[in-house]
């Protein structure tokens, strides 16, 4: 090595400072690497886990291990049965002990490398799929249908818990991926997509919007709007929901189906307009019935329609009902009936027959119990024995049943109410039309027996509907 002596007799070696700096950096990186390896070994040897899981799947147990630690578990769903049910009850145990219990009785082994855990099976080893060097990295970019990048898209290897998310530019990189893996791309408001990797190293994905529920059209006072654009509280009921229960009145079909709408049955006699409909409680001291609008015509009667003839029903509760002014103070029920379509004639039939019985009847006292209660009440008032309404002899006669004419013991529920009554609904409709004329016509028959014996009250109704549009 060449030496240089300066004027003061000091010996200098060219490049010595640079060499020393390089040696210091090399020693620093070696030290960091050693500490990293030691830290990884120390973590796997000292980290303890506590799991209490009953009838859980292996996949759920692996997820819980990752949640409680910094371990990342890699496996192939093709070879490791992660849907197998297991029960774990360990406290402050090392990862090796937990995995031994989790895979006891199976051919699944494991390898712990730093903070990565790789699950292996004999079939997997035979195919050589577990070697990290045989796995590769996949990268790409995720955009929407307009070409804009989508940050925050979740990308997961199907069957595992391993994955990543896209960066601000929509890009991603995922390493150590088996060749037979499938990537799942998911994002809020977008349709989940699955892509088989195969021989690809670059996978770009265009995600489409998920329009479920966003384009639902509802009826408002001034026409129709998409539900996502409506300002105010609007509740809708479909034809399927209205016809789910075999009731004779449409108003009864609304009970319990919409928040803020209270339907009360005011009378048990069939055929009577017995339902009181309140939208968000009582607003005035007088009539609190909502305004009913049928196909744009206010003042309709909801119970004059067949549930089968109603296409949809919307309940307007606040600002969305403002177009109807003061009449909308108690809410508005908008009804759209069915119409024909441009098609060949289509026939439809629906019907049901059933039996109904009185339920939740009040528990009544029999004659001896009633007489005993009257005596007890009068005794508290110090009524003399001779002036009491019922004597002890009267109570004994009520109980014996030997004096039915003077001391009857009648079960009026059994005497007055029928054990069951029938209800029938039959509807048939035909619809169709051409580009110049559409039509819809229906015929309905409804019959309901009352709950009293000998059909003391019953209800029968026929409905005929005919609608045509040019």
pLDDT tens track for 221-245: 544 545 444 444 567 777 777 777 7
Query: What's the mean pLDDT in 427-442?
Result: 86
Structural domains in the chain plus CATH codes:
46-127 (3.55.50.30), 135-207 (2.60.40.1120), 217-337 (2.170.130.10), 343-359+419-469 (no CATH), 367-410 (no CATH)
Averaged over 113-139, what is the pLDDT? 65
Non-local (6+) Cβ contacts of 336 within 8 A are: 219, 295, 310, 311, 312, 313, 314
For residue range 383-421, what is the model confidence (pLDDT) as tens digits? Answer: 898 889 999 999 998 988 888 888 888 888 888 888 888
CB 253 within 8 A of CB 247: yes
Cα distance between residue 401 and residue 314, in whole Å? 59
Cβ pair 239, 310 in contact under 8 A: yes
Q: How many CA atoms lie within 13 A of 224 on its CB side?
A: 11
Confidence grade of residue 165 (pLDDT, cut at 50, 70, 90):
confident
User: What would the two tokens of residue 410 be?
Assistant: 């009648």
Return phi, psi of residue 436, to 5°: -100, -25
Whole-structure pTM value: 0.42
More confident residue, 456 or 312: 312
In the predicted structure, residue 273 carries a pLDDT above the cut 90: no
């Amino acid at each position: 090595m060449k030496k240089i002596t300066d004027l003061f007799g000091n010996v200098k070696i060219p490049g010595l400072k640079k060499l020393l700096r390089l040696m210091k950096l090399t020693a620093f990186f070696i030290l960091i690497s050693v500490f990293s390896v030691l830290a990884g070994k120390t973590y796997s040897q000292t980290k303890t886990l506590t799991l209490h899981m009953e009838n859980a799947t292996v996949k759920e147990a692996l997820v819980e291990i990752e949640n409680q630690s910094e371990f990342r578990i890699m496996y192939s769903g093709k070879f490791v049965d992660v849907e197998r049910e297991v029960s774990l009850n360990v406290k402050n145990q090392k990862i090796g002990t937990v995995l031994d219990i989790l895979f006891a009785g199976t051919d699944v082994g494991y390898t712990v490398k730093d903070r990565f855990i790789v699950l292996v099976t004999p079939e997997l080893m035979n195919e050589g799929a577990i070697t990290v060097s045989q796995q590769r990295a996949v990268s790409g970019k995720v955009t929407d249908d307009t070409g804009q990048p989508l940050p925050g898209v979740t990308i997961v290897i199907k069957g595992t818990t391993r994955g990543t998310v896209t960066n601000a530019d929509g890009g991603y990189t995922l390493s150590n991926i088996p060749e037979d893996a499938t990537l799942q791309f998911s994002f809020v408001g977008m349709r989940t997509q699955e892509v088989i990797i195969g021989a690809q190293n670059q996978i770009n994905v265009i995600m489409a919007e998920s329009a479920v529920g966003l384009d639902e059209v509802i009826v408002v006072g001034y026409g129709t709007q998409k539900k996502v654009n409506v300002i105010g509280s609007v509740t809708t009921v479909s034809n399927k929901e209205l016809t789910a229960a075999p009731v004779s009145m449409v108003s009864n079909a609304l009970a319990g189906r919409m928040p803020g709408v209270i339907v009360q049955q005011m009378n048990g006699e069939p055929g009577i307009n017995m339902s009181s409909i309140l939208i968000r409680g009582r607003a005035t001291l007088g009539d609190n019935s909502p305004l009913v609008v049928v196909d744009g015509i206010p003042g309709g009667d909801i119970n004059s329609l067949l549930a089968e003839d109603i296409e949809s029903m919307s309940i307007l509760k606040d600002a969305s009902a403002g177009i109807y002014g003061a009449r909308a103070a108690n809410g508005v029920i908008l009804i759209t009936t069915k119409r024909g379509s441009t098609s060949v004639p289509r026939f439809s039939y629906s019907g049901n027959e059933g039996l109904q019985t009185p339920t939740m009847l009040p528990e009544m006292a029999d004659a001896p119990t009633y007489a005993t209660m009257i005596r007890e009440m009068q005794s508290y008032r110090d009524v003399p024995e001779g002036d009491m309404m019922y004597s002890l002899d009267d109570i004994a006669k009520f109980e014996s049943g030997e004096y039915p004419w003077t001391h009857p013991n009648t079960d009026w529920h059994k005497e007055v109410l029928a054990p069951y009554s029938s209800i029938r609904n039959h509807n048939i409709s035909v619809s169709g039309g051409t580009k110049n004329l559409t039509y819809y016509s229906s015929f309905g028959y409804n019959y309901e027996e009352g709950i009293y014996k000998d059909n003391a009250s019953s209800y029968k109704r026929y409905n005929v509907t005919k609608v045509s549009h040019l």
